[in-house]
Structure 1
Amino acid sequence: MARARVRLNRRGVGELLRSPQVEADMLRRANAIKATAVGMSPVGEAARDPHPGQYKASWHTSSTRRGGRRRDRATATVYNTAPHARFVEYGTERVHAHHVLLRAAQAGGG
């Protein structure tokens, strides 16, 4: 039986990884994760929370064709700009960690 051989063109693979189509798909996936994160974001009670809903309203996405450790591929990022986002995600000694972004990414955005 004959064996199939594949020879990859490194330049072609690089162009594929940086293509607008791959960037668009990465952004689509990031937006799905963002939607899941918004859905599971905690909202404090107005009586006890000085900024209720700020965390939930602060989710964003961005994309680039020059991402990754070597800047050689399209990537997309989901992030939260609320000043207290890190404490919601990881918790403090008084507040338990919610791990909203972690759980949204594990769910794959839906």
Structure 2
Amino acid sequence: MPTRFRGDMKGVGELLRSQMMLREMIRRAQAIRSAAEAMAPVSTRMDDHHTGLYKASFKVIVTDRGARRHDRAQATVHNSAWYAAWVEYGAEGGRGGGHHVLLRAALAAGGG
């Protein structure tokens, strides 16, 4: 006789809000942050007063009320340097030149 499985949506919701899930999201975000910091480009120009700012501006933001319905454990990696989007995507709106640091960090840390 075939086995049947019927998912318990309440149980899935409890899992997604659990401390275990939150700890795992934090662990993964911290791994991505570490990888991003390791590969972040740093200006070597002596006249550039932002040398190292991008690299030093990564942080992990944690909440247990993430996602669209605000009912999920969530940890995200954010860079607060004012020019972070240009470093990530390039100055021409994504038409080349971007370093894709967060994308490469997520892939390197096993997130993709």
- TM norm. shorter chain > 0.5: yes
Q: Relative to 1, partners in 2 of residues 1:73 and 1:18: Cα closer, same or farther, differing over 3 Å?
A: same
Amino acid at match of 2:59: H
What 5-or-longer segments of structure 1 have no aligned partner? none
Amino acid at match of 1:99: H
Superposition TM-score, scaled by structure 1 size: 0.88
What 5-or-longer segments of structure 2 have no aligned partner? none
User: Partners in 2 of 1:103 and 1:9 — Cα distance?
Assistant: 36
Could you say what the CA RMSD is over the residues aligned between the two structures, in angstroms? 1.8
Superposition TM-score, scaled by structure 2 size: 0.87
Q: 1:79-98 alignment to 2 at 5 Å?
A: 79-93=78-92, 96-98=97-99
User: Partners in 2 of 1:28 and 1:70 — Cα distance?
Assistant: 23
Q: 1:33-44 alignment to 2 at 5 Å?
A: 33-44=32-43
Matched residues, percent identical? 53
List structure 1 runs of 4+ shifted beyond 3 angstroms: none
May I ask how many residue pairs the two structures share in their alignment?
Answer: 108
User: Partners in 1 of 2:42 and 2:2 — Cα distance?
Assistant: 59
User: Partners in 2 of 1:17 and 1:53 — Cα distance?
Assistant: 36
